[in-house]
Amino acid sequence: DTVLTQSPALAVSPGERVTISCRASESVSTLMHWYQQKPGQQPTLLIYLASNLESGVPARFSGSGSGTDFTLTIDPVEADDTATYYCQQSWNDPRTFGGGTKLELK
Amino acid sequence: EVQLQESGPGLVKPSQSLSLTCSVTGYSITSNYWGWIRKFPGNKMEWMGYISYSGSTSYNPSLKSRISITRDTSKNQFFLQLNSVTTEDTATYYCARSEAMMVLPFDYWGQGVMVTVSS
């Protein structure tokens, strides 16, 4: 299985820029997607195919990368962005998710 | 608007079968792909499998001997059955849609149902 590795947690101040990384154990081309999950809620799609912003998602969110290294950027961070962020690949079977990065606001 | 809602028992005994229903409104399950994903305590997420618009299925190899996904198109519902459960299957179970399973992500998710496996 393709293993996706994310940093467990980050803490930033409102107004700052934050980058959340996801590294794949093998190439996934650009078939990488990002989700946000707030406590008690279902995941919501933010970015698909590495860099495409899902409809309705604020332009503060952006994604980049290809191959094995991917980044989700939030700029500027707002208090409402407190959540866990997951990457997920759909290039290799089975689809796999990263372990999640918990974003906390200082 | 596409809406998905999971339902089923919140407590299952070890060695028994876990059965969940995903009810879909606002979109026909005879289009696109409909999957099950679970989130374990501690945040690990696992794709379990899907059923396609045509009724074909694909499962995570880690579950292949225990899982079955079926559907009832007349009720616009699809179902998860996981056999011989253990405490390791305790998780929150989500159903979700993908427009193209081989490429695209899960764009609509249900609220999730927490299932505990315990005697």
Q: At residue A23, what is the residue type?
A: R
Query: What's the token pair of residue B4?
Result: 């998905």
A28-83: pLDDT as tens digits: 999 999 999 999 999 999 999 999 999 999 999 999 999 999 999 999 999 999 99
**C-alpha dist (Å) from residue A67 to A71, A79, A95, A101, B45:** 12, 32, 15, 20, 22
pLDDT of B102: 73
Interface contact A48-B106, CB threshold 8 A: no
Interface contact B43-A54, CB threshold 8 A: no
Q: How many CB atoms lie within 10 A of CB B87?
A: 10
Task: Report the chain B residue with the minimal C-alpha distance to residue A29.
Answer: B103
Of B27, B34, B41, B112, residue with least CA distance to B70: B34
Q: How confident is the model at residue B12 (pLDDT cuts 50, 70, 90)?
A: very high
Task: Check: CB of residue B40 under 8 Å from CB of residue B46.
Answer: yes
Interface of B with A in 54-73 (CB under 8 A): 58, 60-62
Of A42, A44, A94, which is closest to B110 when you measure between CB atoms? A42
Within an 8 Å CB–CB cutoff, is residue B50 touching chain A? Answer: no
The Cα angle at residue A44 between residues B56 and A18, in degrees rounded to 5? 135
Mean pLDDT of B56-66: 93
Query: What's the token pair of residue A21?
Result: 């990384």
Q: Which residues of A touch B60 (CB under 8 A)?
A: 94
